[in-house]
């Protein structure tokens, strides 16, 4: 339901000419609801005017679009319009251009004083925008596109400012005013942009230039979460050097094939990020299964460098080959982790035994063991680990672990002790519909459980397939049988009065919150 205030705001922003004339008389308390109405209604002309005249120090997408009593929540769940995001950036650029022109022309001018009173914007917070990059949509802006757009805007406004400074300097020289050197291209007029960045080899050049000029430029990029894919060691190190130490929360380096030697070069660059909570290094080609003096020294250095990241709470080493070496990898950490992702890490019983006795086990909120074979010698250590972590675990991913109904029944008591569990990922395990029903009957007692991603039951496939087969990954299942199983599971949820829990085979449509969002 829409509030009366929001309905009125929608009416106001529908007439650009009228609101443009009245904007300077509108109380600043109405700007947030007008922004929301213009953004959701894609009234780009009004939106740019609102941003250009924004009367507060902060313009936060997350606060304006996600936390409000005026609007239907379903509208807020939609991905933001690409056109509207671009319009907000253009509005900030227009504000800076006007303010810089006034500033360069004389900060004591009456027009500049009036501008400063009206426009107070110093921080544009673009974090929190929905973006999963899984379903490309031409009407929305991906994280990569947002990064490139902001980088180009940053470079453009900086160049314009430098040109204006030089022009003013030449004019003063021509008028006989003594100017020893051109003034530095730095102005008290600026807007800081708090943003998450996604860079790859294609966008590296433009982002690197933007970070370089933004340090003292009119548009200053302040990164919160950095995601870098397929970058060379040199490029990654250069990027880390350019990032401001303040406010970095997460670094995600993936598909970079760095290995232990490369990571040991990069980790010292991260020590300056004193607020770094999350470090993700999946697909980094770490392999400790072949002992050698060089490998042992590299592993020791890696553990030591991890220990220097004093605020670290989340670590992702997915697709690393850590067989039997988890203790050595984590031994440098003095504070417990709250999220640990070890998918496809070739773990051994000694790894899970260590984890169940470590300082981390009583703090783990997120645990991902996907791709490790939990059906054999890891089963008992896994049960022990889940039991020890049951008091804090919120998110458990055990996809593609070769778990059958028999294995499920053996660790179900331990799983049901996880009273705070919100998410359970079981996709691509050879479970039957009977096994899923057994799981549902027991898990409905978990009060916080909200999402279960379950596998297509083995009895929905051709009976000629073996108990576990790679054929489970294709589309050769009976759709009608699967729909029948889904209907039975839903009816069981209704009977148990747990319609608040989503059971699905779609591992992409319903995304569990990442650790930093819990």
User: Is 221 inside a domain boundary?
Assistant: no
**Cα–Cα distance measured from residue 368 to residue 449, given in angstroms and rounded to the nearest whole number:** 17
Q: Final residue of a domain: which of 132, 167, 202?
A: 167
Residues 160 and 241 in one domain: no
Residues 408 and 288 in one domain: yes
**Cα–Cα distance measured from residue 268 to residue 308, given in angstroms and rounded to the nearest whole number:** 8
Residues 370 and 443 in one domain: yes
User: Is 216 inside a domain boundary?
Assistant: no
Q: Which residues of 303-338 are buried (b: 16+ CB within 10 A; e: fewer)?
A: bebbbebeebbbbbbbbbbbeebbbbbbebbeebbb
Residues 146 and 246 in one domain: no
Closest CA to 195 of 269, 124, 280, 276: 124
Could you list the beta-strand ranges (E) of 126-244.
Answer: 191-199, 219-229
Chain-centroid distance of CA 67 in Å reads 18
User: Is 173 inside a domain boundary?
Assistant: no
User: Is 177 inside a domain boundary?
Assistant: no
> Is residue 119 a contact partner of residue 190, using CB atoms and an 8 Å limit?
no
Residues 270 and 355 in one domain: yes
pLDDT score for 153: 96
Q: Extract the tokens encoding 331.
A: 């031994």
Residues 308 and 443 in one domain: yes
Length of the chain: 518
Residue 143: count of CB within 10 angstroms of its CB:
18
> Is residue 418 a contact partner of residue 387, using CB atoms and an 8 Å limit?
no
| Domain of residue 429, CATH code | 3.80.10.10
Q: Extract the tokens encoding 211.
A: 């970070």
Q: Which residues of 62-79 are buried (b: 16+ CB within 10 A; e: fewer)?
A: eebbeebebbeeeeeeeb
344 secondary structure, DSSP code: T
User: Is 123 inside a domain boundary?
Assistant: yes
> Is residue 326 a contact partner of residue 290, using CB atoms and an 8 Å limit?
no
Residues 262 and 124 in one domain: no
Residues 428 and 305 in one domain: yes
User: Is 24 inside a domain boundary?
Assistant: yes
pLDDT score for 431: 97
User: Is 141 inside a domain boundary?
Assistant: yes
> Is residue 243 a contact partner of residue 214, using CB atoms and an 8 Å limit?
no
> Is residue 42 a contact partner of residue 109, using CB atoms and an 8 Å limit?
no
pLDDT score for 106: 52
Upper half-sphere CA count for residue 29 (Cβ side, 13 Å) = 1
Closest CA to 360 of 328, 381, 334: 334
CA angle 355, 358, 361 (to 5 degrees): 70
Residues 109 and 254 in one domain: no
Residues 109 and 250 in one domain: no
- Does the model's pTM come out above 0.85? yes
CA angle 510, 494, 443 (to 5 degrees): 65
**Cα–Cα distance measured from residue 316 to residue 518, given in angstroms and rounded to the nearest whole number:** 16
Helices 82-104 and 110-118: crossing angle in degrees, nearest 10, is 150
Number of domains comprising the chain: 2
pLDDT score for 219: 95
> What is the rounded (10 degree) CA torsion for 270, 273, 275, 276?
-20
251 CB-near residues (< 8 Å, 6+ apart): 225, 226, 228, 240, 270, 273, 276, 278, 279, 280
Q: Which residues of the chain have pLDDT under 70?
A: 1, 67-78, 103-119, 131-136, 169, 171-187, 463-475
Q: Give the position of tokens 């990898």.
A: 329
Residue 178: count of CB within 10 angstroms of its CB:
6
Residues 162 and 308 in one domain: no
DSSP secondary structure, 361-419, as one string? TTT-SEEE-TTS-TTTTTHHHHHHHHHHHTTT--EEE-TTS---HHHHHHHHHHHTT-T
> Is residue 511 a contact partner of residue 132, using CB atoms and an 8 Å limit?
yes
pLDDT score for 516: 79
Upper half-sphere CA count for residue 241 (Cβ side, 13 Å) = 10
**Cα–Cα distance measured from residue 402 to residue 370, given in angstroms and rounded to the nearest whole number:** 10
**Cα–Cα distance measured from residue 221 to residue 201, given in angstroms and rounded to the nearest whole number:** 19
Q: Final residue of a domain: which of 167, 186, 221?
A: 167
Residue 319's SS3 state is: coil
User: Is 214 inside a domain boundary?
Assistant: no
Give the domain extent around 453.
232-517
Q: Final residue of a domain: which of 123, 146, 167?
A: 167
Residues 109 and 18 in one domain: yes
């Amino acid at each position: 339901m829409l509030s009366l205030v929001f309905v009125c705001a929608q009416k106001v922003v529908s007439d650009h000419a009228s609101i443009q004339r009245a904007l300077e008389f509108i109380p600043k308390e109405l700007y947030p609801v007008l922004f929301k109405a213009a953004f959701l209604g894609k009234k780009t002309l009004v939106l740019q005017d609102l941003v250009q005249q924004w009367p507060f120090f902060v313009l936060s997408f997350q606060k304006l679009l996600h936390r409000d009593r005026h609007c239907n929540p379903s509208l807020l769940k939609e991905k933001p319009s690409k056109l509207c995001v671009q319009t907000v950036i253009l509005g900030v650029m227009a504000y800076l251009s006007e303010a810089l022109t006034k500033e360069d022309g004389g900060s004591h001018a009456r027009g500049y004083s009036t501008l400063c009173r009206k426009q107070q914007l110093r921080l544009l917070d673009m974090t929190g925008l929905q973006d999963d990059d899984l379903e490309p949509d031409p009407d929305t802006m991906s994280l990569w596109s947002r990064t490139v757009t902001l980088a180009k805007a940053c470079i453009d406004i900086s160049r314009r400012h430098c040109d204006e400074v030089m022009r003013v300097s030449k004019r003063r020289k021509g008028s006989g005013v003594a100017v020893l050197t051109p003034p530095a291209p730095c102005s008290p007029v600026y807007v800081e942009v708090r943003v998450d960045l996604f860079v790859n080899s294609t966008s590296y050049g433009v982002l690197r230039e933007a970070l370089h000029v933004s340090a003292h430029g009119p548009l200053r990029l302040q990164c919160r979460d950095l995601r870098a894919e397929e970058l060379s060691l040199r490029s990654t190190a250069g990027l880390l050097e350019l990032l401001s130490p303040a406010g970095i929360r997460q670094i995600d380096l993936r598909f970079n094939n760095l290995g232990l030697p490369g990571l040991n070069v990069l980790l010292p660059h991260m020590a300056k990020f004193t607020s770094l909570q999350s470090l993700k290094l999946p697909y980094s080609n770490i392999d400790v299964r072949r002992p050698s003096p060089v490998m042992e020294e590299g592993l020791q250095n890696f553990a030591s460098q991890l220990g220097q990241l004093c605020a670290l709470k989340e670590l992702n080493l997915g697709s690393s080959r850590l067989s039997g070496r988890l203790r050595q990898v984590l031994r440098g950490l003095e504070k417990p982790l709250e999220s640990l992702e070890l998918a496809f890490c070739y773990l051994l019983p000694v790894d899970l035994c260590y984890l169940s006795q470590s300082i981390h086990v009583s703090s783990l909120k997120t645990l991902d063991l996907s791709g490790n074979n939990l059906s054999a010698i890891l089963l008992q250590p896994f049960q022990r680990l889940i039991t020890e972590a049951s008091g804090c675990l919120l998110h458990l991913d055990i996809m593609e672990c070769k778990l059958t109904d028999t294995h499920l029944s053996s660790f179900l008591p331990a799983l049901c002790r996880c009273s705070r569990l919100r998410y359970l990922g079981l996709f691509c395990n050879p479970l039957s519909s009977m096994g899923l029903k057994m799981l549902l009957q027991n898990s409905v007692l978990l009060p916080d459980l909200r999402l279960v991603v379950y596998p297509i039951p083995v009895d929905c496939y051709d009976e000629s397939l073996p108990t576990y087969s790679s054929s489970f990954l294709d589309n050769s299942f009976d759709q009608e049988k699967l729909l029948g199983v889904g209907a039975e599971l839903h009816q069981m949820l209704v009977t148990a009065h747990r319609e608040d829990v989503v059971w699905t085979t779609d591992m992409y449509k319903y995304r569990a919150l990442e650790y930093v969002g819990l």
